[in-house]
Amino acid sequence: MRISRRFTTEDQTPYAGIEFVERNSEIRNPDGTTVFRQEGIAVPAEWSSVAVDILAQKYFRKSGVPQLGPDGRPLLDGDGRPVLAGERVPHAGAPGRGAQLATMV
């Protein structure tokens, strides 16, 4: 079976035709206190602030994720319990530049 290309070219990434910009997301409680803030999220330029907040809430706000050391083993605290934190996310706009923790306020 052979599948021909229709929307991409062999020498370009599928994202080459999409303009990306960095935006910030801040999610607040009804009383105005900040629950979550993530800066520098790379999103398509035409996305609304609501779309950016949905992305941030769905994918960056995860908490209670067991953290792994450089060797891939779970990090443990002094009592032998797993160290939990926010999910590590790739640095916005920088594939391969490492990871950072989403900021939980």
CA atoms within 13 A of residue 99's CA, in its CB half-sphere: 11
* Separation in Å, CA 61 to CA 5, 6, 36: 36, 36, 7
pTM of this prediction? 0.50
Per-domain boundaries in the chain: 20-104
DSSP 3-state of 10: coil
Which candidate, 52, 57, 66, 54, places its Cα nearest to that of 22? 52
Tens of pLDDT along the chain (105 residues)?
Answer: 998 888 888 888 888 888 999 999 888 888 988 877 888 889 999 999 999 988 887 776 666 667 778 888 888 888 888 887 765 544 444 444 344 444 444
